[in-house]
């Protein structure tokens, strides 16, 4: 039976009414999600579980509770890892419930934190040049030695954030041309999301992604007008700029006339595949958004789908694989990355316990909820150690940064790779012989 939103109190605030969405009524409160939820496992408190948070949102929608700071704390302690969705027998789309609630209550934290986040979401992420300038200044901060002088003087929270800042590369990734030709016979024309963080911190991964696509017969294009996907905005209660970024990306990529839109960051891919929902109330874009989302493919998903071609050289390394939450639970892409890893000669893949449990990164969660993030990271690192692997493969920038930090702080001292790094290296080893 179709759910018709209802409100018993005629005086309900409109923002409360906005929470009354059909997804709330899918939950049958069976509890199978509980032990899949990182915060429930850590705290054993019902309000810190998916079931408990759904109950809170429904109570707010019915006008039975107010949207207090305590309500907000419960909603934002969630990592939005969506492991509960994988466990749920009723197919509850918890991510949509949480994102709807966050859009109503706004970004997390104190007034100062909210101001900083709003500035980042609306004045930085939509503007690649501003981001590039910011990261250029951070690079100067690190390379001049200023970081070593200032870090001990910072308050503890800022000191922790500073410690997690990875070395800023000497150069940022910028496509040399709008179109890169396929190597050999062309099998597909694809567009690649450059992203916001990827070209600044992981430009080498973007370069590797392009080379691997080329070797697999793909003509690669970089639409000039593309920008940040808007995932961080949507996950943290800012939807106005997120929707505008989605519209710009839809226009840019659809105009390119490609067979697929390739994304090498799990969180970005999940967000872009959900543009149809993000813009479902926009009659001028909803149809285009659905068409666009059907083109979006994770890089591993796409390559496994068309099948690798060309000879891969041997890489003698033992690795374990970390399932990024928004790849495994958000996009249901699990077997394809493993299939590609197992195609590399010499590489040994050893599965870790709880490979699809969140590492604690979750976008900016390791900044806004540092204590819980570190607790989850401490849980993850022994599982990596038990595999006796030399490296971890994690095809998502947030996971890579978090696991690099974990390797340095808690051990084991393993290397962290993106899947495209290893595929690119395997192709390079083959061609150098």
Q: Which two tokens stand for residue 403?
A: 């696991």
Average pLDDT estimate for 207-211: 98
Instruction: Determine the average pLDDT of the residues in 325-347.
Output: 98
- What's the pTM value of the predicted model, to 2 decimals? 0.93
What pLDDT score does 58 carry? 94
178-199 pLDDT tens trace: 899 999 999 999 999 999 999 9
Helix, strand or coil, per DSSP, at residue 121 = helix
| Under 8 Å between Cβ of 310 and 430 | yes
Better-predicted residue by pLDDT, 146 or 1 = 146
pLDDT at 68 over 70: yes
Which range among 13-17, 284-288, 292-296 shows the weakest confidence by mean pLDDT? Answer: 13-17
Neighbours of 335 (CB within 10 A): 11
Rounded Cα gap, residues 420 and 176, in angstroms: 19
Whether residue 1 is predicted with pLDDT greater than 70 in this model: the reply is: no
Q: Tell me how far apart the alpha carbons of residues 178 and 196 are, in angstroms, rounded to a whole number.
A: 17
Structure tokens at 2: 């179709």
Nearest C-alpha neighbor of 226 from the set 198, 244, 263, 251: 251
Is CATH 1.10.1060.10 correct for 14-105?
A: yes
pLDDT of residue 6: 40
b/e per residue, 415-426, with b = 16+ CB within 10 A?
A: ebbbbbbbbbbb
Strand (E) or helix (H) holding 114: helix 111-119
Topology (CATH) of 179-304: Glutathione S-transferase Yfyf (Class Pi); Chain A, domain 2 (1.20.1050)
Percent of the chain, pLDDT > 70? 96
pLDDT above 90 coverage of the chain, percent: 86
Q: What is the mean pLDDT of residues 13-18?
A: 62
- Measured over the CA atoms of residue 213, residue 259, residue 305 and residue 93, the dihedral's sign is positive
Predicted confidence at residue 17, as pLDDT, reads: 75
- Residue 429, classified by CB atoms within 10 Å of its CB into exposed (0-12), middle (13-18) or buried (19+), is middle
Enter the CATH code of domain 311-431. Answer: 3.40.50.1860
Q: With 0-12 CB in 10 A as exposed, 13-18 as middle and 19+ as buried, what is 8?
A: exposed
Residue 103 contacts residue 15 (beta carbons within 8 Å) = no
DSSP conformational letter for 181: P
pLDDT score for 204: 96
For 248, residues 6+ apart whose C-beta sits below 8 A from its C-beta are 225, 226, 227
**Which of 330, 208, 355, 205 minimizes the C-alpha distance to 267?**
330
Across the range 415-426, mean pLDDT stands at 98
Domain ranges for the chain: 14-105, 111-164, 179-304, 311-431
The predicted-structure confidence for 345-376, as pLDDT tens digits, reads as follows: 999 999 999 999 999 999 999 989 999 999 99
pLDDT at 158: 80
Per-residue model confidence (pLDDT) at position 433: 59
At residue 177, the pLDDT reads: 81
Task: Of 34-48, 62-76, 153-167, give the lowest mean pLDDT range.
Answer: 153-167
DSSP assignments along 284-331, one per residue: TTHHHHHHHHHHEEEHHHHHHHH---SPPPP--EEEEE---HHHHTSS
Higher pLDDT pick, 12 / 68: 68
The rounded distance, in Å, linking the Cα atoms of 277 and 280 is 5
* Residue-level pLDDT at 160: 79
């Amino acid at each position: 039976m179709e759910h018709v939103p209802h409100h018993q109190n005629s005086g309900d605030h409109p923002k409360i009414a906005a929470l009354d969405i059909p997804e709330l009524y899918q939950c049958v409160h069976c509890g199978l999600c509980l032990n899949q939820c990182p915060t429930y496992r850590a705290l054993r408190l019902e309000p810190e579980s998916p079931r408990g948070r759904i109950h809170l949102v429904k109570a707010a929608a019915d006008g039975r509770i107010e949207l207090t700071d305590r309500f907000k704390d419960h909603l934002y302690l969630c990592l939005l890892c969506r492991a509960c969705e994988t466990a749920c027998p009723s197919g509850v789309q918890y991510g949509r419930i949480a994102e709807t609630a966050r859009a109503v209550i706004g970004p997390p934290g104190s007034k100062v934190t909210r101001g900083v986040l709003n500035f980042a979401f609306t004045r930085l992420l939509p503007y690649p040049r501003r981001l590039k300038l910011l990261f250029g200044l951070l690079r100067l901060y690190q390379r001049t030695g200023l970081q070593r002088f200032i870090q001990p003087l910072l308050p503890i929270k800022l000191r922790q954030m500073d410690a997690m800042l990875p070395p800023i590369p000497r150069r940022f990734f910028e496509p040399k041309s709008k179109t890169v030709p396929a190597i050999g016979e062309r099998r597909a024309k694809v567009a690649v999301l450059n992203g916001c963080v990827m070209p600044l911190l992981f430009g080498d991964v973007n370069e590797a992604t392009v080379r691997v696509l080329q070797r697999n017969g793909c003509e690669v294009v970089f639409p000039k007008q593309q920008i940040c996907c808007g995932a961080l905005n949507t996950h943290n209660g800012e939807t106005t700029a997120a929707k505008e970024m989605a519209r710009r990306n839809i226009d840019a990529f659809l105009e390119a006339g490609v067979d697929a839109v390739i994304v090498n960051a799990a969180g970005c891919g999940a967000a872009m595949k959900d543009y149809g929902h993000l813009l479902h109330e926009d009659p001028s874009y909803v149809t285009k958004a659905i068409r666009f989302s059907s083109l979006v493919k994770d890089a591993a998903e796409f390559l496994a789908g068309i099948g690798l071609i060309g000879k891969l050289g041997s890489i003698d390394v033992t690795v374990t694989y970390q399932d990024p939450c928004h790849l495994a639970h958000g996009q249901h892409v699990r077997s394809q990355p493993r299939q590609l890893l197992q195609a590399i000669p010499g590489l040994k893949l050893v599965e870790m316990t709880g490979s699809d449990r969140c590492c604690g990164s979750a976008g900016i969660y390791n900044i806004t909820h540092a204590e819980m993030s570190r607790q989850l990271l401490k849980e993850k690192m022994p599982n990596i150690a038990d595999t006796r692997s030399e490296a971890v493969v994690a095809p998502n920038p947030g996971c890579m940064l978090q696991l690099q930090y974990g390797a340095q702080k808690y051990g084991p001292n393993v290397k962290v790779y993106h899947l495209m790094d290893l595929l690119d290296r395997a192709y390079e080893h083959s061609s150098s012989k």
